Amino acid sequence: MKLKHVAPHKDPDVVRLGTAALREMTELSSSLRHATVLTDDGFEVVGVPAHAADGRLASMASSIQALTEGVANELAIGPSSYVIIASETGHVIQLRIPGQQLVLAALFDGDETLGKALSTARIAAEKFAAALTSR
Amino acid sequence: MEHIILFAGPMGAGKTTAIRTLSDIPVVATEASNSDRAAADKATTTVALDYGEIGVSDEEKVRLYGIPGQRRFDFMWRILRDRAEGMLLLIHNDAPDPLGSMREFLIEFGDLCDRGGVAVGVTRTDVRPGLIVTDYTDFLEQERPDLMAPVMAVDPRDRGNMELLLMSLIANIEMRALYREVPA
């Protein structure tokens, strides 16, 4: 029997676990403005606040992730660990959910230190990966 | 001399394949696994851009940029549109609404068509009989009567096909530039 493949953004299990991971992230950091988990091709799996950016962050994060991984590959410097956009009033952090075709992208306001933002995002990504693996 | 040409068109039209066919250098591609197999039954989809280059003479090089076909990546359309001199628009004949797709891209890239040029390649004409090339020519004339754009059936895997379409576009861009320089 051929198993039907369910896209991650349509898989209730992935959505539920992603929601829990992002909720925990918001509890860890009061300066988190927006976070999303997206598929490699830019579909939002889950976001907090829900639908805050109408999937726009997911689409842009997908392009950035692909470009970043392309550059790392061209330069033969190994897999890209994370992407940081540090701006005047906020930071965007994004990183791959380990072992998954999913990416976490988060926007923090400027009150957050870059180190804390990165640590928060990394912990959330690792916990989400572990939850997906153990289901 | 360098030209910058944008490869546009809906998802599944053959933009990445066309750039791979034409490019003299290894193509920089940003393909991701396609989660939406209902929209297009293909394994991967472009999420940022494709990039290739082709030399057309000792002094002339064409930079080939492919855009993502899906509208949710339209920020990439805007970034790349402003750099381009012309658009090679690929439309697959077995799309649900190929003429509607053609209209969408002619409107979205109207400014590029005005200041540069456009050529239309109709792909997958062998997969499903439907519209014929003159249907696209007539539609283009109806939508943009001011454009004199080449329209032809192409196979994105065929270098000869794609070179002919690309050279037609470059000739079209240069001809229109000459017209603009000549005082009325």
Whether residue A53 has pLDDT greater than 70: no
Tell me if the pTM is above 0.90. no
Mean pLDDT on A12-17: 93
Of the pLDDT bands very low, low, confident and very high (cuts 50, 70, 90), residue A1 is very low
**The pLDDT of residue A17:** 94
- Quote the minimal CA–CA distance from A112 to chain B in Å: 28
- Quote the minimal CA–CA distance from A124 to chain B in Å: 23
Mean per-residue pLDDT over chain B, rounded: 93
Mean pLDDT on B20-40: 90
Reported ipTM: the value is: 0.82
Q: Chain A residues with CB-CB distance to B under 8 A?
A: 5, 7-9, 39-43, 55, 59-60, 62-67, 70, 74, 101
| B66 closest CA partner among B155, B6, B3 | B6
The DSSP output letter for A127 is H
CB < 8 Å to A63, chain B: 30, 47-48, 68, 73, 75-76
Q: pLDDT tens digit string along B8-17?
A: 999 999 999 9
**The pLDDT of residue A51:** 63
Q: pLDDT tens digit string along B78-121?
A: 999 998 999 999 999 999 999 999 999 999 999 999 999 999 99
- C-alpha B50 chain-centroid distance: 12
